[in-house]
Amino acid sequence: MLKLTKSLIFFDIEATGLDIIRDKIIEISILKIDNLEKKKIKTFKINPGIPIPNESSLIHGIFDGDVKKSPKFCEVAEEIKSIINNCDMAGFNIVKFDLPLLIEEFNKCNITLSTNKIEIIDVQKIFHLMEKRNLSSAYKFYCNKDLKNAHSSYNDALATYEIFISQLNKYNNKEVFDLKGIKMGSIGNNLHDISKVINKNMVDFSGRIIKNNRGIEVFNFGKYKGKSVEKIIKMSPEYYNWIMKGSFAKNTKDKLKEIKLRTTSIPKNYS
């Protein structure tokens, strides 16, 4: 049984995007547990003061009109803080996203949220620690065998083949959904179809460029994260030059060059 020394809150945030500096909270739900018998939950809808991108709305189902009459964060910040202040905190992926975004929002309202002397539990970390995602774990899961001499290229290659065959049998014709619940296709026995499903949003191998929900190539890092690559190339050619001259993988540069070639010619020094 869970032992609590103080109140524990589980919280989750929906936002305009994934940039903890630029994006804004549009919904936060807080489940507060004083003991295992007493639970309270409250949800705040918040007007971010900026448009909610359509690709974000399609994920969480919250559109501009849904929060148009809701209060701004600073109008409810003190109430939110009064609920969570001095409580231990828990959530899924809160260390990388929810908690830093919440701290940023409080800071913009000149409110300090101290995380000193409280426990922070990221449930996602427990999941990743306990359910390993390495080759040995996959071999045990799919083939029910222990991988001997792991990191021997021969044994690793052979185990990978066995895992793949087991996956084909286990997931034959099953539909695949991404982490956002969007259908990506189904697993069959045709390599082209399988590749099309699992690499649906991939543009370059490093993941610097991906396709969004509308199939548009967007940057997946930096100040233009989520922005159309074609539009940024036209609007900010110096950003293209910075990448092409920078320490980025050749595959990333090649894909970026391909996108640029569709609408304009490449400067000679990059050809």
Structural domain spans, the chain = 8-126, 135-196, 209-270
Tell me which residue of 22, 30, 226 sits closest to 108, measured CA to CA: 22
Q: Rounded CA gap, 264 and 206, in Å?
A: 24
| Percent share of the chain, pLDDT over 90 | 66
Q: What is the mean pLDDT of the chain?
A: 90
Give me the pLDDT at residue 224, please. Answer: 94
pLDDT digits (tens, 9 = 90+) for 4-23: 888 999 999 999 998 888 89
* β-bridge partners, 121: 90
State how beta strands 217-219 and 209-211 pair.
antiparallel
* Residues in the chain where the model's pLDDT stays below 50: 266, 268, 270-271
pTM > 0.75:
no
Confidence (pLDDT) at 153: 82
H or E element, residue 75: helix 73-84
> With contact defined as beta carbons under 8 Å apart, do 9 and 20 qualify?
no
Task: Please list, in sequence order, all residues whose beta carbon lies within 8 angstroms of the beta carbon of residue 91, skipping any fewer than 6 positions away.
Answer: 10, 11, 12, 98, 99, 121, 122, 123
Res 271: pLDDT: 42
N- to C-terminal Cα distance for the chain?
64
The strand pair at 175-177 and 120-122 is best described as unpaired
Domain spanning 8-126, CATH class = alpha beta
CA dist., res. 33 & res. 39, Å (int)? 5
- Map residue 178 onto helix, strand or coil: coil
